[in-house]
Amino acid sequence: MDPIDHPVSRYALDVVEGRTVAGDLVQLACNRHLLDLETGRDRGLFFDCKAASRVTNFAKLIQHTTGPKGGQPLELEPWQVFRHGSVFGWKREEDGLRRFRNTYHQVAKKNGKTTDTAVPMLFTQLFDRESAPQGYCAATTRDQAGLLFKELKRMIAASPALSQLMKPWRTSIEVPQTSGEIKCLSRDGNTSDGINPHFAARDEVHRWNDRELAEVVVNSMIARSQPIDWAITTAGADMVSICGELREYSEQVLRGQTVDDRFFAYVAEPPPDCDIHDPKVWRMANPNLGVAFKEDDFSAKLREALAIAGRMPNFRRLHLNLWTEGAQSWIERSVWDIGAEPFDPAMLYGKKAWVGVDLSKTTDLTSIVVAVPHDGLIYLICYSFIAAGPKGFIQRAQSEKREYVQWRNEGWLEVHSGGAIDEDKVIERLEVIRQIFNVQEVAYDRWGMKYVAKELNRRRFPLVEHGQGYTSMSSPMKRFEVAMMNKRLRHNGNPVLAWAIGNVHRDEDAAENVKPNKARSRGRIDPAVAAIMAVGRAEAAEGKRKAREIETV
């Protein structure tokens, strides 16, 4: 077969000639391949069609183990054939060994990066003619490293051919035929001392902040004849990082600013100023769009991000594969204001209510939010308190937030004299709330609540301790977001609560848990935190009620 007729080259031609939608850097990668077919011999490089086909055909021995395709053979899509075929097909004339040693693959989430990394990991163990090849699933944490490792074990068990050649154990996969072995590697798990990798899959490199581990993995490959460093990731949030450096270096190589014949890069990235509503833009970041997930699913994710501003940075990063930096707000004011229509709190008296309390001492606001579910909606009644401060309330308002004066005059903000919140007045307000509502729970953060919690407990309030970390806040915050997106929240246009909602910085961890971050927020967020707790507890109770009804039926 002529190299220009190989599927690797056909994909490159389809991209360059516009038949396949791709971003600028993928187009450059394809241009590089086609140009090297013409001029590579001048640098001692050639494309081995059989070697490229060998690895892509090997993929057919592997089966999907999860999702709707579970049990079906792994069929590499053209963009995957291009990557695998390029890395294994390009060789050096002097010794016939592989050209590419270092690789960088940046593709949006849910495009099968982890699954298709199994192909080179398993192939290099069996067919590279390498003595005792060591393969590593490397990541910053043991759990992340274990994702690929567990997937490999499932794939081996599902394949009659592979299960004859490989022996999975709890912490390793042995390959008797080649004396090979695959293990996990992480900073918080196995030691990296004395490793000699032939193939290393570095997963989710945007989370790597351990330069020592990265350098150990790459530098320890020097004794191997044709090792592969396979770095896979989605875009990150900090270009001044290990992953950011790889991303920048990839662009330099692809644009020809740096010549490195040992480095392969595939960066599926739309332009930073792209129209995020354009399906062509979606496909630039998601080459598996229509295969791994549908456009309707992607549209739903986009609608959520447009409604909740705090989700937009992660949507751009995870689903559009665009690097994001800077502050992240939470909910757009125009969306929040949908729930501002006036209501009379008296219509809710006597109904079941869930209360969230965020207590401060001096500088922050203290807030009580009452959440009352009624006729499919959730009504929020917010009480906010502020200490006048050592120089008086007017001085504090002028230096911190001039609207404090107007909010006080309109009854949205209660001012306590002196330099600290009057906790007894907060307790009195909770007593009034209990008299006019059927209070089910009072959720509170125990920090700074020692006296108030003791007194409320003495008065037999239904207290529920509510932490402020990911574990406690993620589910309530997500419930709050869903209720808001479904236009179920009514807040009477409370300006203090609206201000706090607009200040919230939404943090999200690697497992997609979320929480408000007070330190990184733009101003006071105490009313918003109290509202999240109240709505979260109300929605959790409603979920339990429905579950009981289903059980009864």
Residue 15 is predicted with a pLDDT of: 98
- Residue ranges of E strands in 509-549: 514-516
Least confident of 223-232, 233-242, 343-352: 233-242
Indicate the pLDDT class of residue 550, thresholds 50, 70 and 90. Answer: very low
Q: How far apart are the C-alpha atoms of 171 and 480, rounded to whole Å?
A: 41
Residue 211 is predicted with a pLDDT of: 80
Phi and psi, residue 106, nearest 5° = -115, 110
Residue 214 is predicted with a pLDDT of: 87
Residue 325 is predicted with a pLDDT of: 65
Phi and psi, residue 45, nearest 5° = -120, 145
Model confidence at 552: pLDDT above 50:
no
User: What token pair was written down for 479?
Assistant: 């419930």
Share of the chain above pLDDT 70, in %: 96
Q: How far apart are the C-alpha atoms of 139 and 231, rounded to whole Å?
A: 10
Q: How far apart are the C-alpha atoms of 227 and 430, rounded to whole Å?
A: 66
Least confident of 376-380, 511-515, 549-553: 549-553
- Per-residue pLDDT, averaged over 435-443, amounts to 96
Indicate the pLDDT class of residue 159, thresholds 50, 70 and 90. Answer: very high
Q: Is 460 exposed, middle or buried (0-12, 13-18, 19+ CB in 10 A)?
A: exposed
Model confidence at 7: pLDDT above 80:
yes
Give just the sign of the alpha carbon dihedral 412, 416, 419, 421: negative
CA-to-CA separations, 444 to 326, 369, 462, in angstroms, rounded: 30, 11, 11
166 with 175: CB under 8 angstroms? yes
Choose the CATH number for 333-551 among 3.30.70.3280, 3.10.105.10, 3.40.50.720, 3.30.420.240: 3.30.420.240
Residue 298 is predicted with a pLDDT of: 94
Neighbour count for residue 13 (Cβ, 10 Å): 16
In tens, the pLDDT along 307-335 reads 887 788 889 999 999 998 654 568 878 78
Neighbour count for residue 86 (Cβ, 10 Å): 25
Q: How far apart are the C-alpha atoms of 541 and 534, rounded to whole Å?
A: 11
Q: How far apart are the C-alpha atoms of 25 and 241, rounded to whole Å?
A: 20
User: What token pair was written down for 12?
Assistant: 């490159």
- Fold (CATH) for 3-285: Rossmann fold (3.40.50)
Neighbour count for residue 427 (Cβ, 10 Å): 15
In tens, the pLDDT along 482-522 reads 999 899 999 999 999 999 998 898 888 877 899 998 887 87
CA atoms within 13 A on the CB side of 501: 26
Q: How far apart are the C-alpha atoms of 397 and 388, rounded to whole Å?
A: 9
Dihedral angle of Cα 282, 287, 289, 290, to the nearest 10 degrees: 140
Q: Is 342 exposed, middle or buried (0-12, 13-18, 19+ CB in 10 A)?
A: exposed
Residue 188 is predicted with a pLDDT of: 64
Residue 473 is predicted with a pLDDT of: 94
Q: Smallest Cα–Cα separation from 348: which of 462, 442, 437, 440?
A: 437
User: What is the pTM (predicted TM-score) of this model?
Assistant: 0.71
Residue 216 is predicted with a pLDDT of: 87
- Per-residue pLDDT, averaged over 444-471, amounts to 91
Look at 133 and 73; give whichever has higher pLDDT: 133
CA-to-CA separations, 288 to 19, 65, 160, 196, 295, in angstroms, rounded: 16, 18, 27, 34, 11
392: left (phi over 0), alpha (psi -120 to 50) or beta: left
Neighbour count for residue 299 (Cβ, 10 Å): 13
Indicate the pLDDT class of residue 545, thresholds 50, 70 and 90. Answer: low
Indicate the pLDDT class of residue 114, thresholds 50, 70 and 90. Answer: confident
Look at 52 and 309; give whichever has higher pLDDT: 52
In tens, the pLDDT along 16-44 reads 999 999 999 999 999 999 999 999 999 99
User: What token pair was written down for 73?
Assistant: 């053979």
Indicate the pLDDT class of residue 380, thresholds 50, 70 and 90. Answer: very high
Residue 6 is predicted with a pLDDT of: 98
In tens, the pLDDT along 413-428 reads 999 998 889 999 999 9
Q: Smallest Cα–Cα separation from 387: which of 418, 359, 427?
A: 418
Model confidence at 194: pLDDT above 80:
no
Instruction: Look over the chain and give the mean of its residue pLDDT values, rounded to a whole number.
Output: 91
Residue 553 is predicted with a pLDDT of: 41
What residue segments make up the domains of the chain, in order of their start?
A: 3-285, 333-551
Strands 172-175 and 180-186: antiparallel
Indicate the pLDDT class of residue 446, thresholds 50, 70 and 90. Answer: confident
Indicate the pLDDT class of residue 547, thresholds 50, 70 and 90. Answer: low
